[in-house]
A and B are shown apart, each in its own frame.
Chain A
Amino acid sequence: MTVHLSSPAPSRRGLPRHLFWPVGYAVAALLVFLLLFAKHRGYLSPAFSDFLQQWLSPSSIIEAVVWVICALGLNTVVGYAGLLDLGYVAFWAIGGYTAGWLMSEFFYQVNVHVLGSVPQARPGIHLSFWMVLAVGAALCALFGALIGAPTLRLRSDYLALVTLGFGEIIPQVFTNGENIGGFNLSNGTKGIVPVDPISVGGFRLGPFDLHWKYLIFVGLAVLIAWISLRLREGRLGRAWLAIREDEVAASAMGVPLMRVKLAAYAIGALAGGIGGVAFATHVNSVSPERFNFSISIILLAMVVLGGMGNVWGVILGALVLAWVNSTGLQQLGNALNDLTGRDINLPSYNYLIFGSVLVLMMLFRREGFLPESRTRLVLREHGREGISGEATLDYEAADDMATPGTGEDIRVVGEEPPDAGEDVREGRI
């Protein structure tokens, strides 16, 4: 499958190259919507409907879209700015709890309704989904900046470790936040249930209106993708790339490192907040055990496998991995068991399979399914050299090892500078 997908976007359909993926995704999204709509209305034959429910359930599709939103956010941090973030789940959690606080009966002491989707009589804070999205995004951006301010002074591995710490701390705060000096922040391990449904205008989305929910979430994903693509083209995007390439040179060219990195962090976090709010309304609850370390890692894998820095690749990575995690393994396992008459619980080998795929990808396709054209250049060459161990196999690769991108001293390639002593003599004569 990867081979097929990774073939460079061709113009075989008469489409300009740069439109291939956006149009492709739009068509796919529309088809899925039509399918969900038909399923909802009962237009599909029962057999086909069952098949869909098993292999491509509406709920898993919606969840996959949430993963796309978050993966795109992480891509801003990891793919664009090159800052390894192992604690991205923190933002997903903050977004989720924002929805929990502002769209439920959790704060039953008060009764605030602003365009909410539940009757006025219900206690608690009930804001409209759209307002909560904005609040969640803003809160996460703020937290992104707060967490970033001290940590972004660190480099590479140290940054990764500290973000890992924050990714653990924030969910822990929610897990143990039942009684913070008498204040119940998060309802502890019980979580916050239920979260209000989404409402659009006066129309309230019921539990079976999954096709509308899907459409809304796709809209959010499009928004994030759009922001990513636009920013990438501008002044800030160039600065992110420059930092990814060479921090020292970037700062010497007037790029304020802290500000630009903070912007990447805040914008990435913002997407996490939107994803978090969306997810909370999707599962109608917020509970801390959902926000564990593995989420950060899976998101990172989505970005890396999809193709760091390339929005289209990251979307693909997120969709594929989310589907495999939620449905694919389970169904493939069942199919396998039916076929062979065994009783293997394939999903329990989740991490084994996942790990193997990661290792294989790192060996054979380090740049991901759909790499950004520029990263393909390096990772491909170095990757090949890495596994073959024969530097002479690929002259280009061997050459590239000494170019400035790798931080090596370029002068080894050229002529050694003439001995200075000789020159003084020469100059004197």
Chain B
Amino acid sequence: MTHAAVAAPPVLRAERVVVRFGGLVAVNGVDFTIPQRGVVSMIGPNGAGKTTFFNALTGLYQLTSGRVFLGDKDITGLSPHRVAALGIGRTFQNIRLFGLMTGEENVKVAMHSHLRSGVTRTIFRTPRQRREERQAQEAARDLLDYMGIGHTADEYARNLSYGDQRRLEVARALALRPSVLLLDEPTAGMNPRESAQFTQVVHRIRAERGLSILLIEHDMSVVMRVSDRITVLDRGEKIAEGSPAEIRADERVIEAYLGGSREGRAS
């Protein structure tokens, strides 16, 4: 199941990324790429540094050393809003929607970097501004429909069901028109049916929008189903990388997950 074009340069490339918080090395020299239109998963035990790595890619954390490239552009050390505007959309592990804004408004916020109307045009509501707002509204509603949550357009995000909130976060990230979508544990808290639906959504986004997707996920059934490639982190280091089949058979991975010696699990 390797959709990724082998020859195309990676969409995102991270080189020897190190993130250190005081004495704690959260991410230690991780090399990482996301191929064009690929779905790459990052797994690892809790505290392995997955989310930290994510935050480092999106500019939320400063790298201690290493470089990150989006296409051939060096985005190391750029602030989060620049990274977002350049084309990395993300969701959060603990859903971070704008609770007191409607679904439509949530999506429109993410269009900030695409919209041009400044203070004067907004105050005088020039035809250009009105047209832009109208287009933004249509685009936002389209995105909500695309994610199957058109009914959330006029609802405050905080009042939505859990599944709808997760979807709204993806819709919002898509509004950035990203080239890479980073999903941080998108199926956490979903039941198996919802997870299955979500995998379909991931496939559809990749197929229809030509996006590359990086997924942090605990649910192995999801990971094994959607990933072209899996990267395993443990204690900040990359311990394995490969196709789902390879990862499934990797001794180090199993050890990292179960901890200690293999005798421990005599099943």
A residues adjacent to B (C-beta < 8 A): 226-227, 230-231, 233-239, 241-242, 245-246, 248-257, 263, 267, 374-375, 377-378, 400, 403-406, 408-411, 413-418, 420-421, 423-428
Selected from A230, A231, A417, the residue in CB contact (under 8 A) with B219 is A417
- 28 of the cross-chain contacts (CB-CB < 8 Å) are A234-B133, A235-B115, A241-B100, A242-B109, A245-B98, A246-B97, A248-B60, A248-B96, A249-B92, A249-B97, A251-B79, A254-B85, A254-B113, A377-B156, A378-B158, A403-B158, A404-B158, A404-B165, A406-B99, A413-B189, A414-B189, A420-B45, A420-B218, A421-B257, A424-B254, A424-B258, A427-B221, A427-B223
Contacting pair A420 B257 (CB below 8 A):
yes
Shortest Cβ distance from A36 into chain B, in angstroms?
A: 30
Contacting pair A424 B158 (CB below 8 A):
no
Question: What 1/0 mask marks residues of chain B from 79 to 116 whose CB sits below 8 Å from any chain A CB?
Answer: 11110110000101011111111000100111111010
Q: Is chain A's interface secondary structure helix, strand, loop, or mixed overall?
A: helix
Other CB < 8 Å A-B pairs besides A236-B122, A374-B100, 13 of them? Answer: A230-B124, A234-B129, A235-B115, A236-B118, A245-B99, A246-B97, A253-B176, A256-B79, A378-B99, A404-B99, A410-B165, A423-B221, A424-B253
Q: How many residue pairs at the A-B interface have CB separations less than 8 Å?
A: 180
Q: List, in ascending order, chain A residues with CB within 8 A of B133's CB.
A: 233-235
Contacting pair B101 A418 (CB below 8 A):
no
Shortest Cβ distance from B182 into chain A, in angstroms?
A: 10
A263–B267 Cα distance when bound, in Å, is 62
Interface size class of B (residues with CB under 8 A): 35 or more
Residue of B nearest to A251 (CB): B80
Selected from B96, B109, B267, the residue in CB contact (under 8 A) with A238 is B109
B residues adjacent to A (C-beta < 8 A): 43, 45-46, 58, 60, 79-82, 84-85, 90, 92, 94-101, 105, 108-113, 115, 117-119, 122-125, 129, 133, 156-158, 162, 165, 172-173, 175-176, 185, 188-191, 218-221, 223-224, 248-249, 253-254, 257-258, 265, 267
A404–B90 Cα distance when bound, in Å, is 16
Contacting pair B258 A241 (CB below 8 A):
no
Q: List, in ascending order, chain B residues with CB within 8 A of A414's CB.
A: 162, 188-190
Contacting pair A254 B188 (CB below 8 A):
no
Residue of A nearest to B162 (CB): A414
Q: List, in ascending order, chain B residues with CB within 8 A of A403's CB.
A: 99, 158
Q: List, in ascending order, chain A residues with CB within 8 A of B219's CB.
A: 417-418, 423
